[in-house]
Structure 1
Amino acid sequence: MLLATPPATLTRPRARHSLRPGRPLPLGFLYGPLLLLAAWTTGSATGLLDPRFLSPPWNVVTTTVDLVADGRLTGHLLASVQRVALGLAFGIPAGVLLALASGLSRWGEALIDGPVQIKRAVPALALMPLLILWLGIGEGMKITVIALGVVVPVYIHTHNGLRGIDSRYVELAESVKLGRAAFVRAVVLPGALPGFLLGMRFAVTTAWLFLVVAELINSTSGIGYMMDLARTYGQTDVILVGIVLYGLLGLFSDAAVRLVEKRALSWRRTLAG
């Protein structure tokens, strides 16, 4: 008698692909930039990159040391960091408040969402002449430019987070008769947190982008001013110092928000977890 083959349902085929690629690499966000640095170093050392157009990395390091030694880089860096910090301090609460007003009220969405989308479509450079006329060329104008750039990503992603809250939680809150304040505290804010943190990642990098625009116009301090002055004198290595600084500041700002996101949302099972 032939033995019956086991039914196909009893054999579990091995998965060819895993949805969980394993533990995150330590300091994985640095691997790509280090690869770019290696390519830059190799191209400069082999002569593939003309030093007249792109200074080698060792010259950039030497220039950075010289700028730090005479105090110029430290002063410009502190000025830029202060502007970004103030822009974030004003832009983030404004974006959150607008998202809450729009996400929790149909009238709020009708009145707020359209103007925010218009601001999203208007380039920063198009606003500069108007802001200069209103606010002058001082620090207020620069901080306002950064804050306006920060508001949009915080609003959009927080608003999407609010719209994505599971309706079962809303029904549960209604069944236990939660008050408005308790509903916002227990349901709305935790539900919007993933969207808010994603918006924060865009906001911190956007802040540095808008800082470049602000500092290239009538500034007397900051990384952008240092780069513009170097352009006047043809100092390519100083310009590259500024570009590298902007890139590193954006990279580590994003990494800081990702760390907060990982801690705050540790309960979620994700592909990267």
Structure 2
Amino acid sequence: MSKAMSFLRRIGVGWLLPVAILLFWEASSRFGTIPSSVLPAPSDVAAAFWRLLESGELLRNIWVSTGRAFAGFVVGGLIGLGFGLANGLSFLSREITDTTLQMVRNIPHLALIPLVILWFGIDEEAKLFLVALGVFFPIYVNTLLGIQTVDPQLVEMGRIYGMSPSTLFFRVILPGALPSMFVGLRYALGIMWLTLIVAETISASSGLGYMAMQAREFLMLDVVVLSILIYALLGKLADSVARALESACLKWHPAFQAA
């Protein structure tokens, strides 16, 4: 029971500031401090949420955006993980590919949108490519960094004890690299939603970004704010899942052990 209460208390503390901001926002709107033409009250945004939920439009657009985001995440994440492992474990692979990848990493991937539209049009492939490209580099860099920062004395000790290469990887190298890899995972999830927001507002016929742009055309400010808040909540949910997975996989790590 004490563990459950401690967990609920931690969750509650994290939501204190967002709730306080919402209350201040609502009060400021009610007293006219924030004009409705600048920022609608939270109650108006909630009314828009209920209206779109009843029509089915909101759930449909959330489902489309979530599918796009995680399809791009899986593609870019797996490729980034593969390159990170290859370059972390093989000096030859790192010498061949790392310099090129680091040069490409310094190109803002959102700046490629005009070129991506010319390549793929405005169909799903363009959004998938942009999300995958945005996700690739955080996963790649942090996987490579994690492997490179594994204590070489532990690796040498494993070899002395006669561990096979696969056993050495799964028992020594991978656990040592996991903390850095999870940092890359959480960072990539943030990049994933950021990329999708931009991609959907430029070339989409469905999704939350499309819903926000349509609302802008009709001056429906409450729907625009609602779309932004839903993006934020989806990002928070994805980060919470990543943190839970991190805690479950790193129970042995001192930083994740309960005091």
- The percentage of aligned residue pairs carrying the same residue is 33
> 2:3 — aligned with what?
none
8 Å contact kept, 1:215–1:224: yes
Q: TM-score, normalised by structure 1?
A: 0.86
> 1:77 — aligned with what?
62
Within the candidate set 112, 129, 141, 2:114 is matched to 129
> 1:88 — aligned with what?
73
> 1:42 — aligned with what?
27
Q: TM-score, normalised by structure 2?
A: 0.90
Deviation at 1:102, TM superposition (A): 1.3
Q: Which amino acid aligns with 2:242?
A: V
1:198-220 deviation line (CA, Å, top 9, x unaligned): 11111111111010111112210
Within the candidate set 36, 43, 47, 1:51 is matched to 36
**Structure with the higher fraction of residues in helix conformation:** 2
Deviation at 1:271, TM superposition (A): 8.3
1:223-272 deviation line (CA, Å, top 9, x unaligned): 00001111111111110010000011111111111111112112222289
Deviation at 1:161, TM superposition (A): 1.1
Hey, what's the Cα distance between the residues in 1 that align with 2:95 and 2:224?
45
Larger Rg: 1
1:243 aligned onto 2:228 = yes
Segments of 5+ residues of structure 2 without an aligned counterpart are 1-5
User: Relative to structure 1, is the Cα distance of residues 56 and 209 closer, same or farther in structure 2, using a 3 angstrom cutoff?
Assistant: same
> 1:103 — aligned with what?
88
Aligned residues: 251
RMSD over aligned Cα atoms? 1.8
Partner-residue secondary structure (3-state), 2:255? coil
> 1:117 — aligned with what?
102
Q: Which amino acid aligns with 1:70?
A: S
Hey, what's the Cα distance between the residues in 2 that align with 1:146 and 1:210?
6
Deviation at 1:182, TM superposition (A): 2.4
1:26-66 deviation line (CA, Å, top 9, x unaligned): 21432332232223223212221111110000000000000
Within the candidate set 211, 224, 242, 1:226 is matched to 211
Hey, what's the Cα distance between the residues in 1 that align with 2:158 and 2:244?
31
Segments of 5+ residues of structure 1 without an aligned counterpart are 1-22
Bigger relative contact order (CA 8 A; separation at least 6): 1
> 1:217 — aligned with what?
202
Partner-residue secondary structure (3-state), 1:192? helix
